[in-house]
Amino acid sequence: MQHHAVDERHELSATLRAVGPTAATLCGDWTATELAAHLVLRERSIAELAGRLPVRQLHRHAERRLAEFVAREPYDRIVATLDRGPAWTDFPVATVWSLPPVRELVNLLEYVVHHEDVRRAVPGTPPRALAVARQRAVWQRLRASAPLTMRAVPVGVLLAWPGHSHIRTGRARVVTVSGDPIELALVAFGRQRVAQVDYDGSPEDVAAVAGARIAL
């Protein structure tokens, strides 16, 4: 089995160490510290997982747990924990995340998008040149994720990886968004403004896609 998610996690951790705890990210008002803490708790805390559901009380509880974790843990230790990854002995949540099939299927896009949240918070940061094997892995995950994350976009979207394949998200009117898989992942997860992609469609439809609020 390939270990694309593990490799991406290590590279994300290296970037977090390089930028430091107070660096801005593209995740609202989160700094690198809050983002790293979220990624750690996501694999270890039921409260953090539940907080991603559209339930206000669960979201507030997850925010409190995140704030408490950040207050008591040094940044270096948070990043080191992220870099190490979950272990099967860390019951109960981390046991599931430590399984290689789960880790690869679920975590790759999470790590890729959040890695770019850290990198591209700095204006002018160029895209990364990822190995084709990892680009293909990102593309395969997008096949399942993009129709879900983009379900509320008011027009159909065709995500096109030039020379390879495409993913269609539905609806009649279609805007084609072309680019490498990592750039299309940024579009599919609501980071359109920093994605290096080309749009093709009517001006109104392109504006609807480029300005859409996209989230799970």
- Read off the tokens for 160: 């096109």
Q: How many domains does the chain have?
A: 2
- Residue 211's φ and ψ, nearest 5 degrees, are -105, 5
Domain housing 172: 138-210
- Identify the domain boundary among 63, 90, 119: 119
Instruction: Report yes or no: 8 and 108 within 8 Å, Cβ to Cβ.
Output: yes
- Please check whether residue 16 lies inside any domain of the structure: yes
Across the strands, what pairs with 200?
A: 176
Per-residue pLDDT of the chain (216 residues; tens, 9 = 90+): 578 999 999 999 999 999 999 999 999 999 999 999 999 998 888 878 777 777 888 888 888 999 999 999 999 999 999 999 887 666 677 778 788 888 888 899 999 999 999 999 999 999 998 999 999 999 999 999 999 999 989 999 999 999 999 999 877 779 999 999 999 999 999 999 999 999 999 999 999 999 999 876
**Strands (DSSP E) along 95-153, which ranges?**
none
- Please check whether residue 42 lies inside any domain of the structure: yes
- Identify the domain boundary among 119, 147, 180: 119
Residues 18 and 112 in one domain: yes
The reported pLDDT for the residue numbered 90 is: 66
Instruction: Report yes or no: 180 and 161 within 8 Å, Cβ to Cβ.
Output: yes
Residues 21 and 96 in one domain: yes
**Cis-peptide, bond into residue 92, ω within 30° of zero:** yes
DSSP one-letter code for 193: G
Distances (CA, A) of 41 to 70, 76, 104, 188: 10, 15, 18, 24
How would you class 108 by CB atoms within 10 Å of its CB: exposed for 0-12, middle for 13-18, buried for 19 or more? buried
The reported pLDDT for the residue numbered 89 is: 64
- Please check whether residue 126 lies inside any domain of the structure: no
Residues 204 and 161 in one domain: yes
The reported pLDDT for the residue numbered 136 is: 96
- Please check whether residue 199 lies inside any domain of the structure: yes
- Please check whether residue 195 lies inside any domain of the structure: yes
- pTM equals 0.92
Residues 202 and 105 in one domain: no
Sign of CA dihedral 105, 166, 114, 152: negative
The reported pLDDT for the residue numbered 91 is: 60
- Please check whether residue 67 lies inside any domain of the structure: yes
The reported pLDDT for the residue numbered 216 is: 63
- Please check whether residue 60 lies inside any domain of the structure: yes
